[in-house]
Amino acid sequence: MATAPRSSPSFPPLSQPEEAFPCVRGVTEWLCRDLDPEDGVAQSMPDASPTKWHLAHTTWFFETFLLETFDRAFAPFHPDFRFLFNSYYNAVGARHARPERGLLTRPTWPEVLAYRAHVDERVATVMARLDGDERERARSILELGLHHEQQHQELVLTDLKHLFAQNVLGPAYRSPLAAGPAKAESLRWIGMPEGLRRIGHAGPGFAFDNESPSHRRFLGAFALSDRLVTNGEYLDFVEAGGYRTASLWFDVGWQRVCEDGWELPLYWRRTPGGLEEFTLAGWRELALGEPVSHVSYFEAQAFATFAGARLPTEAEWEVAARTVPVAGNFIDSGRAHPQAAGPEQELRQLFGDVWEWTQSDYAPYPGYRSAEGALGEYNGKFMCDQRVLRGGSCASSSSHLRATYRNFFYPADRWQFSGIRLAKDLS
Amino acid sequence: MATAPRSSPSFPPLSQPEEAFPCVRGVTEWLCRDLDPEDGVAQSMPDASPTKWHLAHTTWFFETFLLETFDRAFAPFHPDFRFLFNSYYNAVGARHARPERGLLTRPTWPEVLAYRAHVDERVATVMARLDGDERERARSILELGLHHEQQHQELVLTDLKHLFAQNVLGPAYRSPLAAGPAKAESLRWIGMPEGLRRIGHAGPGFAFDNESPSHRRFLGAFALSDRLVTNGEYLDFVEAGGYRTASLWFDVGWQRVCEDGWELPLYWRRTPGGLEEFTLAGWRELALGEPVSHVSYFEAQAFATFAGARLPTEAEWEVAARTVPVAGNFIDSGRAHPQAAGPEQELRQLFGDVWEWTQSDYAPYPGYRSAEGALGEYNGKFMCDQRVLRGGSCASSSSHLRATYRNFFYPADRWQFSGIRLAKDLS
Amino acid sequence: MATAPRSSPSFPPLSQPEEAFPCVRGVTEWLCRDLDPEDGVAQSMPDASPTKWHLAHTTWFFETFLLETFDRAFAPFHPDFRFLFNSYYNAVGARHARPERGLLTRPTWPEVLAYRAHVDERVATVMARLDGDERERARSILELGLHHEQQHQELVLTDLKHLFAQNVLGPAYRSPLAAGPAKAESLRWIGMPEGLRRIGHAGPGFAFDNESPSHRRFLGAFALSDRLVTNGEYLDFVEAGGYRTASLWFDVGWQRVCEDGWELPLYWRRTPGGLEEFTLAGWRELALGEPVSHVSYFEAQAFATFAGARLPTEAEWEVAARTVPVAGNFIDSGRAHPQAAGPEQELRQLFGDVWEWTQSDYAPYPGYRSAEGALGEYNGKFMCDQRVLRGGSCASSSSHLRATYRNFFYPADRWQFSGIRLAKDLS
Amino acid sequence: MATAPRSSPSFPPLSQPEEAFPCVRGVTEWLCRDLDPEDGVAQSMPDASPTKWHLAHTTWFFETFLLETFDRAFAPFHPDFRFLFNSYYNAVGARHARPERGLLTRPTWPEVLAYRAHVDERVATVMARLDGDERERARSILELGLHHEQQHQELVLTDLKHLFAQNVLGPAYRSPLAAGPAKAESLRWIGMPEGLRRIGHAGPGFAFDNESPSHRRFLGAFALSDRLVTNGEYLDFVEAGGYRTASLWFDVGWQRVCEDGWELPLYWRRTPGGLEEFTLAGWRELALGEPVSHVSYFEAQAFATFAGARLPTEAEWEVAARTVPVAGNFIDSGRAHPQAAGPEQELRQLFGDVWEWTQSDYAPYPGYRSAEGALGEYNGKFMCDQRVLRGGSCASSSSHLRATYRNFFYPADRWQFSGIRLAKDLS
């Protein structure tokens, strides 16, 4: 990105999916506008995917779940794309092995753009033709597809960041970032009383199936830190020997520390001139006042223990988040990097900047039912071994988030913009 | 075991640890009485340990946590045993690599028995000498050590079963079991109303730290099956293609099915004469009316989905278990195998027979604090990536269990006596 | 390759390296002329490298071994390229991990071409300036670099073939091949008498250090097959259960067959319409009269045993090869695929078509000395665990080969154009 | 071994196999006489086997290859033993997985001894009954079986040594060794002229098939060191940074050094008090004047390069060994450890002490034919990827060896008594 991305446009809401469709699709391509097609080929680890694959897979989603059902003249753009760009839907059939997505030099970037253009045109044509119940069902899938595309927009950024970090050349995705602040205000605690609380999604707006049903939880009195944990606070943990102190860690986390030689967050490095952090703008001096990012659940939990606190549960987080607007540092600003907490409110940075690890297992809500058919594989089958993260990041779209939104990753994952908010019991 | 083990003796309660100590220690050796010392050497997988190692490690526990602190004339029985028989206590120091416990042909079985006798003698001597606060602290560790020893008694059986199952000779640990029933009564549902419930341990009796603090949970109305799922019911799942139907499984479970080629529970096999099950009495025709055992959490969850139900949460299980006495098919009976549900009560088999997988993540209760020092590693550091199991098994001691007891294993683990109780929402 | 490559130009001999330099360098780029830059990024396995990496590494070779020594105004083109494009020279320093060459989306293809142009210009300038001893030393390294570049030209083709074969789209590097013959003439044996023979390189022309010293070997009387083993003959082995018959295989080969599920040569596949072979022109019906290719040493040896014969030793092969001219089906013809034996001579296909596995361990000749310094790592350190192949392939340049030339790969390697010539004892 | 083993008895020669049979069989059990049966269970790595397995497998050999063919009343001792104790004979059928031999706690040691006694009795009975051609064929297999048993006697010792070395208790197999000499005489070179030499076995005595046919090789003039390389000389290599100098190593060897962290021979360790070596008598101060042992081919070759020499070829070794008697430090002396060279002859230690790595690939001799049927798997199928060692060790029986004897191991193997003799070219 030679120049900083433009500020967030005023998009049609995703609840008007026909209108939002070209805008959301356009954002995906706009995120790639300064990439070289070669950058879109490589896969830096099995968890990450090539940019080109993201461009094609999001298109496959509309082709498979919308056009195949609703386009009377449906013909696949290419017979092999069903196989190549299926991510994990067993019900759709066999698929290209995930760890080998980086071998797909073909289709080329222009061919993938042609695939996108073809599907975009068919979607517009088909949606214009539908009415009645059929139209409602199609709109619902279209809206889901837009939220899906926004999830992949975030992955485009995190996967590119991981890829570029492997390269000794340290390529930059965007123009240089200004230096960050060296210090943050003191951390304060915001208390919440005990009580029976309702969490989860209810009502007319869009939400993923994993946010439902809305249900009651009993929460003891608790407090959350008013802002995210900073690089400077995390550095104290590092320098105090946090990565060498077994008693701070879960057993599985400690194994990971030992086996993988963890000593710092994923994108930190020590240089003769001091600590640096890899950003989407390349390597840069570590800004101690900015939120720590790219830490695993293991690191977040060990830090919290070190700090004499704990991580919040997702219910605690949600109860708190319902009190603030969905506003913050999102990809809409083009920064693509967390920033220091501002003074604007009491409970800050709940949305944007970094995803916040909770101590909650990613599990079905009581009474949860996944959708029928292949789309039922969207969320439900991942409800084992993962942890919930909340709030979105600097790589998320503001229109994508809400207080009930549940993200989930494995406890050792570090390549997302994932950080730490602290919690503690009051009583 | 040439003959069936004697029926359960009337033990002193573990809350009188000085009196119970020789009895609990004696049971461990009694469980090994028909083994050849060679049987005590081998380790069939990293999760399992050699019998001899269990004999020594439980002794090390008393030596390390009790004698080192309270024996004024303390001298280690052997300087290397601190290294050899430490299981996982980082605070105690370095230790023999877990997957290589099967290489310890030395110390020999008689040497380990001598180690046991030495520590037993010292414990008795030391306990007789203590008084006041010191005595109370020592009694508390002694009681913990007895519960610890009982946990390893169960592992002696499950680890031997796993070892013997690897051997084409199919050695038997105990004398033949009578044929089991071919059918169970129809499964019925026992309902419980919604409400704010208190779970966890409170009060004077012994409990592990992970059972505390007692706290409130809001539970919707639910029902539990009145008995355990049987081999016959599980066979229906198998024959209906359960192991070939991705949509029934968690994603990580399905990967395991595919990679490890799971087609049956761990100890089932197909023979020309029909299905057989490996038991501590050797291979035997599968008894369709007995509870299914040695299934992983993945299999338990897939079966529940297949059955149109779900697994209980640990809170649901505990609320139900508080209504019944701690009675059932334990190791005290010497059977060492699950048995069919009897007619004795409405909600049956909650205790004994097989550990029951719950859908609950093994996590700290709100306000949980682990103990100080090395003993703080007993439970807390494992609170990630595991699932809670409840109720004990045919290899547990009756004196070891209670409604608040939390066991935990990884979702793919199958070598414990682990089975299935179903739950469903009422509303 | 939209069109078949031009026929071989009349190049200056490599013994005039200044004149040959632009030609050999040009051939490398010409081989890539129809590739999309995206094709140059991916690495399909650790043994293979991306095309772009080959383009850069061959340039690094001249920069490191020639310009660094002889260019008085030497400055590296880019300070990180020494790290990125070092293949395996420990003496040159640390290097980018081999299995991660596919992550180098940067430098881009145009940047690598600029690197090539820069080094080409400096080489020409420097060579024009040198004289005396210095010039002779430089010429010797320049000539070595040209042979090195030719080796990588062959790897460009075999690595692309491997990459394209992983893609369900089956991309073609070149235009379609005409159908091959369905049958070959009967195989005949060409005998050679026993005697003390001299093998290895002696004399003024270029040879790699591993071809020296020339020395004597005693050979019993033997015979070689007059042509290469064909696909049809190899198919007989397949259909007779060759891949299911342990007694035909070395123990390590049989392990590989079982573990990797080998059932056919690397690029064969069974389709409803019959056997097909992946070629640089895409998938194509298997031509039974053409030489079998892409078999490992294990397969070559198992086939030879099946055929009641054996593989030649490298000494036998060399003695035979000295009797025929270095002529055959090389990359010069642009075919890039083996072809059926022609009628032109008694002992056919010794050069070109496919590399011929010998039973000889790749070992130093008696009195072998590797070069001093980093260039000493070129050949000598690989003299363990590999097998010698002789004769070149359809992807080799004719100017690159000679009777004493020793190629070497691991016994399980299959991605080179490697095939089979049979031998037997006479006596 | 509480006491040193008795000196070598005067055995019947193995060419009188009926007479030698009870003696050779007895030696195997005598080697185990001070072991605890528990010591016989464990397998310290896939390459090694439990002692009990060796006791049973050597018995299986006679049962399978002799009794099954020649015993008219043949019935297997136990139907599962054919599966359990088959080592690697595909033609005999399926077998227990090699890396899981350590799980066989059953059959127990006494049961295996009963198996041995049963087969011993049947062999004696059957051999007494046979005559004519049948007797000759049986004698030939019996003699082969005795040589096979001697090979496993050596493995009993090397596998126990490896097992005991894993145990922090450092168990001793035999009584303490006297301290060894700190220095050896200067190494001298013994030259041999160039010429056409005959190597391999010819004549009436026993030899394995891999020693045939006898054939001619042309050898240039060469010299061998008069004695083995000592610990002291090897220590010079270590202290000069041999394990940190890539240029001394083969590429595959260097990978091994880096990946496995090799810094010393297998059984050396640094202690505050100096270097120690694990022996069958336990840990002991390193005797600098004794031969270095338990080095891999990679280490042997790196040392030779460091010393400005090379390893001998097997032909060179054999030509030299034909000039000296088969005498030396064998297991017959009961020492079970290499010893310093004595003054007795010019070319010393060719037999016994340690196996000597040659640079020769383990390959078939020209005209080699393996035996028909399962016994054809004895040697031939291993003729890939291994290196020849010559001369026997302190764990070999003197009656087992001869100048043409070829042993073979993988280049990274270190658990045998394997050491170094140097060679160089003369010319």
Among D165, D200, D221, the domain boundary falls at D165
Cα–Cα dist D268/B159, whole Å = 35
pLDDT for the residue D327: 95
Task: Check contact C-B (3+ Cβ pairs < 8 Å).
Answer: no
Do the Cβ atoms of B267 and B44 come closer than 8 Å?
A: no
What does the block give as tokens for A139? 């709109």
Residues pairing with D52 in the sheet: none
Length of chain B: 427
CB contact under 8 A, D105 and B166: no
| A128 and A230 together in one domain | no
Give a yes or no: residue D9 inside a domain: no
Which of D254, D367, D381 is nearest residue C251 as measured by Cβ atoms? D381
Contacts of A358 in chain B (CB under 8 A): none
Do the Cβ atoms of C280 and C214 come closer than 8 Å?
A: no
Distance from CA of A236 to the nearest CA of C (A): 32
CB contact under 8 A, D109 and B38: yes
CB contact under 8 A, C381 and D215: no
- Mean pLDDT value of segment B126-155: 97
Residues pairing with C198 in the sheet: C216
Distance from CA of B4 to the nearest CA of D (A): 21
pLDDT for the residue D9: 53
| A159 and A208 together in one domain | no
CB contact under 8 A, B167 and D108: no
Give a yes or no: residue B327 inside a domain: yes
Least reliable range by pLDDT among B200-209, C277-286, D42-51, D365-374: D365-374
- Residue in chain C nearest A166 by alpha carbon: C103
| B360 and B259 together in one domain | yes
Summarised one tens digit per residue, pLDDT across range A277-288 is 999 999 999 999
Distance from CA of B366 to the nearest CA of A (A): 8
- Mean pLDDT value of segment D134-148: 97
What does the block give as tokens for D343? 């003054």
Summarised one tens digit per residue, pLDDT across range C19-31 is 999 999 999 999 9
pLDDT for the residue D345: 75
Q: What is the 3-state secondary structure (H, E, C) of A291-331?
A: ECCCCCHHHHHHHHHHCCCECCCHHHHHHHHCCCCCCEECH
- Residue in chain C nearest D313 by alpha carbon: C366
Cα–Cα dist B397/B8, whole Å = 9
CB contact under 8 A, D88 and C251: yes
In the predicted structure, residue A98 carries a pLDDT above the cut 70: yes
> Which residue of D385, D386, D388, D409 is the best one to mutate when testing the C interface, meaning the one whose CB has the most C CBs within 10 A?
D385
| A332 and A398 together in one domain | yes
Cα–Cα dist C413/C158, whole Å = 12
Q: Which residues of D touch C (CB under 8 A)?
A: 88, 90-91, 196, 215-218, 220, 246-247, 249-254, 297-298, 301, 359, 361, 363-364, 366-367, 376-377, 381-385, 411, 425, 427
CA distances, B22 to each of A47, B110, D41 (Å): 54, 19, 31
Q: Which residues of B touch A (CB under 8 A)?
A: 88, 90-91, 196, 215-218, 220, 246-247, 249-254, 297-298, 301, 359, 361, 363-364, 366-367, 376-377, 381-385, 411, 425, 427
CATH of the domain at D148: 1.20.120
- Residue in chain D nearest B84 by alpha carbon: D168
Give a yes or no: residue A170 inside a domain: no
Contacts of A107 in chain C (CB under 8 A): 169
Do the Cβ atoms of D266 and D234 come closer than 8 Å?
A: no
In the predicted structure, residue A6 carries a pLDDT above the cut 60: no
Cα–Cα dist D230/A327, whole Å = 75
Cα–Cα dist B100/D400, whole Å = 34
What does the block give as tokens for C261? 């599920």
Do the Cβ atoms of C385 and D251 come closer than 8 Å?
A: no
Q: Which residues of D touch B (CB under 8 A)?
A: 36-44, 80, 83-84, 96, 100, 102-109, 163, 166-169, 171
Summarised one tens digit per residue, pLDDT across range C296-307 is 999 999 999 999
CB contact under 8 A, A385 and B252: yes
In the predicted structure, residue D246 carries a pLDDT above the cut 70: yes
Give a yes or no: residue A404 inside a domain: yes
- pLDDT exceeding 70 applies to what percent of chain D? 97
- Residue in chain A nearest B246 by alpha carbon: A90
Task: Check contact D-C (3+ Cβ pairs < 8 Å).
Answer: yes
pLDDT for the residue D340: 94
| B92 and B210 together in one domain | no
Going by C-alpha positions, the residue among D98, B90, C136, D405 that lies closest to residue A255 is B90
Which of C84, C106, C166 is nearest residue A103 as measured by Cβ atoms? C166
Among D165, D198, D230, the domain boundary falls at D165
Least reliable range by pLDDT among B27-41, C148-162, C225-239, D334-348: D334-348
- Residue in chain A nearest C170 by alpha carbon: A106
Going by C-alpha positions, the residue among A355, A403, A363 that lies closest to residue A154 is A355
pLDDT for the residue B287: 97
| D146 and D196 together in one domain | no
Which of B42, B103, B163 is nearest residue D163 as measured by Cβ atoms? B103
Cα–Cα dist D338/A315, whole Å = 70
In the predicted structure, residue D155 carries a pLDDT above the cut 90: yes
- Mean pLDDT value of segment D378-407: 97
Cα–Cα dist B112/C9, whole Å = 82
pLDDT for the residue A3: 35
In the predicted structure, residue B80 carries a pLDDT above the cut 70: yes
Judge if the upstream peptide bond of residue A22 is cis by omega within 30 degrees of 0.
Answer: no
| B228 and B374 together in one domain | yes
In the predicted structure, residue A7 carries a pLDDT above the cut 50: no
State which residues form the domain around C99: 17-165
- Mean pLDDT value of segment A58-86: 97
DSSP state of B5: P
- Residue in chain A nearest C172 by alpha carbon: A106
CA distances, B275 to each of A350, B261, D26 (Å): 56, 18, 45
| Beta-carbon contacts of residue B404 (< 8 Å; ≥ 6 apart) | B199, B200, B201, B207, B211, B318
Contacts 24+ apart (CB under 8 A), D275-279: D275/D235, D277/D231, D278/D161, D278/D164, D278/D165, D278/D170, D279/D161, D279/D177, D279/D336, D279/D337
| D245 and D159 together in one domain | no
CB contact under 8 A, D38 and B37: yes
- Mean pLDDT value of segment D131-135: 96
Number of domains in chain D: 2
Summarised one tens digit per residue, pLDDT across range A228-245 is 999 999 999 999 999 999
Strands (E) in A167-267, as ranges, are: 189-192, 195-199, 215-219, 222-225
Length of chain A: 427
Cα–Cα dist C394/C384, whole Å = 27
Summarised one tens digit per residue, pLDDT across range A144-165 is 999 999 999 999 999 999 999 9
Cα–Cα dist B396/C328, whole Å = 77
pLDDT for the residue A342: 85
- Mean pLDDT value of segment A9-18: 86
Mean pLDDT of chain A: 95
CB contact under 8 A, C382 and D250: yes
Summarised one tens digit per residue, pLDDT across range C165-215 is 999 999 999 999 999 899 999 999 999 999 999 999 998 899 999 999 999
Cα dihedral: B389, B392, B394, B399 (round 10): 160
- Mean pLDDT value of segment B41-67: 98
**Confidence tier at B9 by pLDDT (50, 70, 90):** low
| Beta-carbon contacts of residue D260 (< 8 Å; ≥ 6 apart) | none
**Confidence tier at C1 by pLDDT (50, 70, 90):** very low
Do the Cβ atoms of D193 and D400 come closer than 8 Å?
A: no
Among A132, A165, A198, the domain boundary falls at A165
CATH of the domain at C363: 3.90.1580.10
Going by C-alpha positions, the residue among D54, D49, D48, D106 that lies closest to residue D78 is D106
Provide the total of helices (H) and of strands (E) in chain C, helices listed first: 10, 14
- Residue in chain A nearest B371 by alpha carbon: A247
| B197 and B109 together in one domain | no
Which of B249, B252, B384 is nearest residue A252 as measured by Cβ atoms? B384
Q: Could you tell me if residue B385 is left (phi over 0), alpha (psi between -120 and 50 degrees) or otherwise beta?
A: left
Give a yes or no: residue B9 inside a domain: no
- Mean pLDDT value of segment B403-421: 98
In the predicted structure, residue D348 carries a pLDDT above the cut 70: yes
What does the block give as tokens for A165? 């970090």
CB contact under 8 A, D38 and B41: yes
Mean pLDDT of chain D: 95
DSSP state of D403: T
pLDDT for the residue D280: 98
CB contact under 8 A, D105 and B171: yes
Cα–Cα dist C416/C405, whole Å = 16
Judge if the upstream peptide bond of residue B107 is cis by omega within 30 degrees of 0.
Answer: yes
- Mean pLDDT value of segment D239-256: 97
| Beta-carbon contacts of residue A260 (< 8 Å; ≥ 6 apart) | none
Do the Cβ atoms of A34 and A52 come closer than 8 Å?
A: no
Least reliable range by pLDDT among A99-113, C240-254, D7-21, D153-167: D7-21
More confident residue, D24 or C9: D24
Residue B19 neighbours by CB distance under 10 Å: 12
CB contact under 8 A, C367 and D250: no
| C195 and C155 together in one domain | no
Cα–Cα dist D125/D187, whole Å = 53
| D237 and D333 together in one domain | yes
Give a yes or no: residue A175 inside a domain: no
Summarised one tens digit per residue, pLDDT across range D266-300 is 999 999 999 999 999 999 999 999 999 999 999 99
pLDDT for the residue A203: 87
Summarised one tens digit per residue, pLDDT across range D258-272 is 999 999 999 999 999
Degrees, nearest 5: CA angle B43-B45-B51: 30
Cα–Cα dist D231/D284, whole Å = 13
- Residue in chain D nearest C425 by alpha carbon: D367
> Which residue of C252, C384, C409, C426 is the best one to mutate when testing the D interface, meaning the one whose CB has the most D CBs within 10 A?
C384
Give a yes or no: residue A3 inside a domain: no
Give a yes or no: residue C10 inside a domain: no
pTM of the complete model: 0.95
- Surface-to-core class of residue A247, CB atoms within 10 Å of its CB (0-12 exposed, 13-18 middle, 19+ buried): middle
CB contact under 8 A, B381 and A217: no
CB contact under 8 A, C38 and A166: no
Summarised one tens digit per residue, pLDDT across range D58-109 is 999 999 999 999 999 999 999 999 999 999 999 999 999 999 999 999 999 9
- Mean pLDDT value of segment D325-337: 95
**Confidence tier at B370 by pLDDT (50, 70, 90):** confident
Summarised one tens digit per residue, pLDDT across range A356-413 is 999 999 999 999 998 888 898 999 999 999 999 999 999 999 999 999 999 999 999 9
- Residue in chain D nearest C309 by alpha carbon: D367
What does the block give as tokens for D308? 């400005």
- Residue in chain D nearest B104 by alpha carbon: D167
| A380 and A278 together in one domain | yes
In the predicted structure, residue B6 carries a pLDDT above the cut 80: no
Pairing, β D355-361 against β D387-390: antiparallel
Task: Check contact D-A (3+ Cβ pairs < 8 Å).
Answer: no
Which of A41, A84, A168 is nearest residue C105 as measured by Cβ atoms? A41
Which residue carries 């080697």 as its tokens? D31
> Which residue of A43, A100, A106, A108 is the best one to mutate when testing the C interface, meaning the one whose CB has the most C CBs within 10 A?
A106
Question: Which strand ranges, in their side-by-side order, compose the sheet holding B274-279?
Answer: B268-271, B274-279, B282-285
Summarised one tens digit per residue, pLDDT across range D172-197 is 999 999 998 999 999 999 999 999 99
Distance from CA of A320 to the nearest CA of B (A): 18
Going by C-alpha positions, the residue among C257, C258, C268, C270 that lies closest to residue C290 is C268
Residue D191's φ and ψ, nearest 5 degrees, are -90, 155
pLDDT for the residue D203: 87
Cα–Cα dist D410/C385, whole Å = 9
pLDDT for the residue A371: 84
pLDDT for the residue C401: 97
pLDDT for the residue D4: 34
CA distances, A287 to each of A177, A337, D112 (Å): 11, 11, 70
CB contact under 8 A, C103 and A171: no
- Mean pLDDT value of segment B203-231: 96
Going by C-alpha positions, the residue among C310, C309, C266, C300 that lies closest to residue C286 is C266
Going by C-alpha positions, the residue among D120, D118, D119, D106 that lies closest to residue D37 is D106
Going by C-alpha positions, the residue among C200, C215, C144, C204 that lies closest to residue C403 is C200
Summarised one tens digit per residue, pLDDT across range A176-191 is 999 989 999 999 999 9
Burial A205-222 (b: 16+ CB within 10 A, else e): ebbbbbbbbebbbbbbeb
Do the Cβ atoms of A137 and A19 come closer than 8 Å?
A: no
Residue C293 neighbours by CB distance under 10 Å: 28
